[in-house]
Amino acid sequence: MNIILLGPPGAGKGTQAVRLEDEHGMVQLSTGDMLRAAVKAGTPIGLQAKAVMDAGELVSDAIVSGLIGERLDELGSDVSVIFDGYPRTAAQADSLDEILSARGRKLDHVIELQVEEDALVDRITGRFSCAKCGAGYHDRYKLPKVDNVCDVCGSDEFKRRPDDNEETVRTRMAEYRAKTAPILPIYEARGIVAHVDGMAPIDQVNEAIEAILATATAS
């Protein structure tokens, strides 16, 4: 199965993708995570991407589509994948069609997480993650069970993303409205879009996604 989690910054794509990985053995392909890893490693792609990401703008279509193609080749054909943060432009949507068809894959679902803009700013500016294992948390909605100790790996080091400030978030949202939201009709025309209320609590959003996947498996 190949699914896209589509939604604005902070909609919960990463949160839900990790749940699906745990529950179904699917693999999350997050272009944001791939780019951040490239920045951290200081690769040529990372050096090119850093300033663009810090400004909240979009990295070039060729770079992100190249990353997705390479990662799919590493995974092989039997693995189910969740595209998180890709595609983000009409050109990337075209590339994804080519990438999938060249590898004998097809897109099964596009799940749109719908969240109000004020809630997105609140979520992103409160977000932090474990510096060691990357587990995600939030100042109010998802704190570690024990103060300052990661639930997953026990580390006491946490970090925040440099682009998680209000000014950059507003730019990321404007980019989403201008370039990403317009690709939804491409998939609606194919009858593969499901809309989920992303304002609901994390567990309920997960249940709604599970229901969509279960219907698909049954049919």
- Nearest approach, Cβ of residue 200 and ligand AP5 (Å): 6
Residues forming a β-bridge with 111: 5, 194
Contact residues: ligand AP5, CB under 6 A: 7, 9-15, 31-32, 35, 52-53, 56-59, 64, 85-86, 88, 92, 123-124, 127, 136, 138, 141-142, 163, 172, 198, 200-202, 205
- Nearest approach, Cβ of residue 32 and ligand AP5 (Å): 2
Residues 75 and 157: their CA atoms lie apart, in Å, by 30
- Nearest approach, Cβ of residue 219 and ligand AP5 (Å): 27
Residues 145 and 183: their CA atoms lie apart, in Å, by 39
127 is in an annotated binding site: yes
Catalytic, out of 19, 50, 88, 123: 88
Give the 3-state DSSP-derived string for 138-189, with helices as H, strands as E and coil as C.
ECCCECCCECCECCCCCCCCEECCCCCCHHHHHHHHHHHHHHHHHHHHHHHC
Which residue, judged by CB position, is nearest to ligand AP5 in the bound state? 32
CA nearest to 112, candidates 25, 1, 208 = 208
69 is in an annotated binding site: no
134 is in an annotated binding site: no
Residue 127 appears among annotated catalytic residues: yes
What is the DSSP secondary structure assignment for residue 29, as one 8-state letter? E
Annotated binding site for ATP: 10-15, 127, 200
Annotated binding site for Zn(2+): 130, 133, 150, 153
